[in-house]
Structure 1
Amino acid sequence: MVDANVMKKTFTVPEIKPLDQYDFNRAKVCASVRWLLAKSYGSAENVPADLREPVLIGQELQAGVSVLLLSPDLYWRAHSQLHLRGVSQGPGQGPGGVSKGPGQGPGGVSQGVVQGGDHVALLQLLASRGHAPRDQDRPVTVEDLQHTPIKTRAHLALIDALMSLAAMETVGRVKMAAEAEQIGGGSPWENALLFWVNRLNQRLRESTEDDDDKTQTCTDLQPAQPAIRYRKDKVQSKLTPTFPLVSGVKDLSNGCAIAAVLHYYCPSRLPLEDVCLKDTMSVADSLYNLQLIRTFCCGTLQGCCPLAVEDLLYAPPTLHMPLGC
C-alpha cells in the first residue's frame, strides 16, 4: 500500500478541472461516444485517430462522428461485440439476428461493414430485452435517430440502452449476482455490480486478515507484522490495507474498490502493494488510484476505460452507466 504524496516523484498525479469548471453534459457525451466507438471497432486502440476526440468545443459532435451515428451500422457492430447469451442465431445470422453473407464474421461484419439490420430492428431488439431507449420518458424513435442535424440526446439514450445491456450481461455471469437485490437503491445492474465489487473486496479483506493472523505470535508485546510485502522503494505501512464497503456507484470514485477488483483478477499486473488503500483518502490519494486504473486499462485491457480521471473522481449520476461498463 502506498501514499500518493510519496509516489509523486515516480507517478505524476494528473491535474483536473475544478468541480465548478467541470462540464457534466460534455463528459457524458464524450464517455458515451467513446464507449460506442471502442465497442464497434473491437477496442479503443482500433478506433481511428481522427475519431478519438468525438466532441469539439462545448457539446458539439465532430462531423465524422455525427455521420457514423446517423447510420445503424455503428450500433449493430457494437451490439455484436457484446457477446450476449440467449440471443438466437439462425442459419446465416450473427448476434442480434443480423444477416450474414458469405465470408462475414459475427454480427454480419465483413471488413468493417455490417450487412442487414436497421434502426427499426435495433429498437425492436432492445425493447424485446427490456432496454428500450427513452429520452426524457419518451421512447426514442427511428425518426429521432435519423434526424439531421443530429439529435444527440436520442443517440445518447440508445447508447445507454446498449450499455445497460452490456452491464447486465457482465454481472449476469457472476454466480452470486442473484443475491444482489439485497443491496437495493439502484437499477438491477447497479445493485449486482456493487454486490460483486463488495464480495471480491470482502475476499481480499479476509485473505489479508488471515495472513495477519498467521504472522502474529502468542504474545501481545510484539506488534503484528504487515500481511503484504512492500517494495523497498515505496512507503511501508504497518496498517492493514482498508478494503471499503461500497453502497453506491459514487463510492467507487476514490479508486480503492475498483483497483482491488482489478488486483483480484490480475494480481501480477496490478500488485496490491501499488494501490493506495487507507481509511481516509485524500484527493491526491484518489487521483493516484484513478490514474493507476486508467494506466492499467490502457496497458492491459486495450484502453477499455472511456472516462477521464476527473470523470472517475466526480462520478456524476450521468456517468454511472459508462462507469459500470
Structure 2
Amino acid sequence: MESLGGALSSIPDRDTKKAALRTTARPIGSNDSQRPIPNPKAQGCDLLIHWGKPQHETAELGGNKQTHPSPPPLPVGHSRVEESPAPLEEMGSRAHAVCGDHIPSDLRDPFYTDQYEQEHIKPPIIYLLLSGELYSRVCGLILPAEQAASLQNHQSVIQALSRKGIYVLETNNTPVSDLDLSSSPIKMSAHIHLIDALMMAYTAEMISIEKVVSCVKRFSNISASKELPFDLEDAMILWINKINIKMRELTEKECKMKQHLLDSPGHHKVRYRRDHLSGRSLQHFPLLEDILKDVSDGAALLALIHFYCPDLIRLEDFCLKEVPSIADSVYNIQLLKEFANEYLNKCFYLNPEDLLYSPPVLKNNVMTFIAELFWWFENVKPDFVHPRDLQEIKHVLNQPLTHLTPYCL
C-alpha cells in the first residue's frame, strides 16, 4: 500500500502549472489582521485561529518557493484522531477562537510536549476553556452586539446556541452542562461537543439551504421533487455537484466547438496524434454522495474553485482522475490549502492527512471549510471571483488554437 510520505516524494514536478496561481489579482485578506467575518457587526474581531499543531508548511503562490513536509505515513482509512478517545489533535483541529489585534503566543500554539514526548494543553488554555471566556468570544461572532455582550459563561453560550436550534449534547444525547464544562480536571469530551456546536452555528451563518438553491438556480435546473436539499450537508452536496456537472458541460461544449472549427473546410489542416487528441478526455469531474469521503482527494473542491476563479486555478493545475493515486490526492489537497492561504485568508485549518483520510470526527471541520468557500464566492465576491458561464463559449471561436483547453488536447 502506498504510504502518504512516499506519495509526497513521488509527486511530479508541476512548477509550470503552479504559474496559474498568479498574484496579478489582488488577494483579499492578505493582511491577516483584517479577516472578513460573517457577522458585519463583528468586524473588530480580526482573526480566526486554528488550534492545533503548528503548521510547518509555507505556501507562497505566484512563483515563489513552496515547502511541504511529508505527513507521516498512515495506513489508508486510519488517522491519528482515532487513536484515543479524546486526542489533543482532535481538539486542535476542531477549535476556532477569536482574538483581538494581538494574539497571545499560547493561542497560536496551545500545546506543549513533556519529557516523555506526550502532548498536553497549556495551563493558560485550560483556564480559558474552564472559564468559558474563549467560547463567549467565539459565540459572540454569530450574535447581534447586544446579545453578544451578555455572554459571560458556559451556560450563557449553551443557551445562545439553543435559541438558534443547536443543542450541545453528549454522544448518549444527554445535555452538556455548565458543571461538565467547568469541572477540573477538564472533561475534554464535553468541550469537544461544545466546540462542535459552535462550529455548526458558525457554518449556519455562512451558508443556508435557501442561499444554495438561489445560487444553483442561476446556472442549473433543480428538480423540486428530487433535488431540494433537506439540511445543510445535503445543500453543500447539491452545490458542489451542480458546479461539477456545469464544468463537465462547459468543457464538453468547448471541445465540440473547437473540434468543429478544426474540421471546417476553410481551416488550415493540422495533423494530431490520436492519443494527443483523446488523452485529456479522461478528465473526470466527480460527483459527491458522501460529503466527507468524496472530497478527500480535493478534486471536486478544486473544480468548484476553478468555476469561480478560472484565472487563478486552471483545470490543468490539478488532477481530475476517476481513481486518483495518493500522490495525486495529496497534491490536490496541498494546492487547495495554498489557494485558501493566499486568497481566502487561511480558512483551510486541516492538515493534508486530515482531509485525505477524512475520519468522521472531522466532518464538521470539512463542512465548515465548504461553508467558507460558499461565503467567499457567493457573499463576499472578491474581485478575483469571475464565475464561468456558458456565455464564454461564444468567445471560443475567437481564441487562437494555442488557447485550446487541455481538456480538448
**Common fold, TM-score beyond 0.5?**
yes
| C-alpha contact 1:215 1:224 (8 A) present in aligned 2 | no
Report the Cα offset of residue 190 of structure 1: 1.8
Query: What is the match of residue 7 of structure 1?
Result: 14
| C-alpha contact 1:226 1:237 (8 A) present in aligned 2 | yes
Query: What is the match of residue 71 of structure 1?
Result: 131
Match of 1:153 among 186, 189, 199: 189
| C-alpha contact 1:51 1:65 (8 A) present in aligned 2 | yes
Match of 1:261 among 299, 304, 308: 304
- Alpha-carbon separation, structure 2, partners of 1:180 and 1:7: 43
- Alpha-carbon separation, structure 2, partners of 1:323 and 1:183: 22
Deviations 1:213-259 (A, max 9, x none): 111128599789999xxxxxxxx963363210111121100000111
Cα pair distance change 1:164/1:298, threshold 3 Å: same
- Alpha-carbon separation, structure 1, partners of 2:301 and 2:260: 33
- Alpha-carbon separation, structure 1, partners of 2:203 and 2:357: 21
- Alpha-carbon separation, structure 2, partners of 1:71 and 1:13: 37
Are residue 134 (structure 1) and residue 169 (structure 2) matched?
Answer: yes
- Alpha-carbon separation, structure 2, partners of 1:8 and 1:124: 51
Report the Cα offset of residue 78 of structure 1: 1.6
Report the Cα offset of residue 62 of structure 1: 2.2
Number of matched pairs:
283
Query: What is the match of residue 74 of structure 2?
Result: 19
- Alpha-carbon separation, structure 2, partners of 1:47 and 1:270: 32
Match of 2:107 among 51, 70, 74: 51
- Alpha-carbon separation, structure 2, partners of 1:269 and 1:12: 20
Are residue 124 (structure 1) and residue 159 (structure 2) matched?
Answer: yes
| C-alpha contact 2:167 2:197 (8 A) present in aligned 1 | yes
Report the Cα offset of residue 143 of structure 1: 0.8
Say what the alpha-carbon RMSD is for the aligned residues.
3.6
Query: What is the match of residue 109 of structure 1?
Result: none
Structure 2: where are the runs of 5+ without partners?
A: 1-9, 17-64, 82-86, 217-221, 265-270, 369-409
Report the Cα offset of residue 182 of structure 1: 5.2
Query: What is the match of residue 32 of structure 1?
Result: 94
Larger radius of gyration: 2
| C-alpha contact 1:205 1:243 (8 A) present in aligned 2 | yes
| C-alpha contact 1:171 1:196 (8 A) present in aligned 2 | no
Cα pair distance change 1:264/1:53, threshold 3 Å: farther
| C-alpha contact 2:139 2:148 (8 A) present in aligned 1 | no
- Alpha-carbon separation, structure 2, partners of 1:297 and 1:250: 20
- Alpha-carbon separation, structure 2, partners of 1:290 and 1:179: 32
Structure 1: where are the runs of 5+ without partners?
A: 100-114, 228-235
Match of 1:316 among 350, 359, 365: 359
Query: What is the match of residue 287 of structure 2?
Result: 245
- Alpha-carbon separation, structure 2, partners of 1:183 and 1:226: 38
Cα pair distance change 1:242/1:194, threshold 3 Å: same
Name the SS of the counterpart of 1:79 in structure 2: helix
| C-alpha contact 1:14 1:287 (8 A) present in aligned 2 | no
- Alpha-carbon separation, structure 2, partners of 1:6 and 1:47: 37
Match of 1:188 among 231, 240, 244: 231
| C-alpha contact 2:88 2:121 (8 A) present in aligned 1 | no
Cα pair distance change 1:81/1:280, threshold 3 Å: same
- Alpha-carbon separation, structure 2, partners of 1:68 and 1:144: 15
| C-alpha contact 1:54 1:62 (8 A) present in aligned 2 | yes
Deviations 1:175-226 (A, max 9, x none): 3589799579x99222221111111212222211121111112859978999
Q: TM-score, normalised by structure 1?
A: 0.74
Identity of aligned residues (%): 31
- Alpha-carbon separation, structure 1, partners of 2:106 and 2:364: 25
| C-alpha contact 2:106 2:122 (8 A) present in aligned 1 | no
Amino acid at match of 1:170: M
Cα pair distance change 1:224/1:191, threshold 3 Å: farther
Query: What is the match of residue 213 of structure 1?
Result: 256
- Alpha-carbon separation, structure 1, partners of 2:359 and 2:294: 11
Q: TM-score, normalised by structure 2?
A: 0.60
- Alpha-carbon separation, structure 2, partners of 1:223 and 1:216: 14
| C-alpha contact 1:183 1:191 (8 A) present in aligned 2 | no
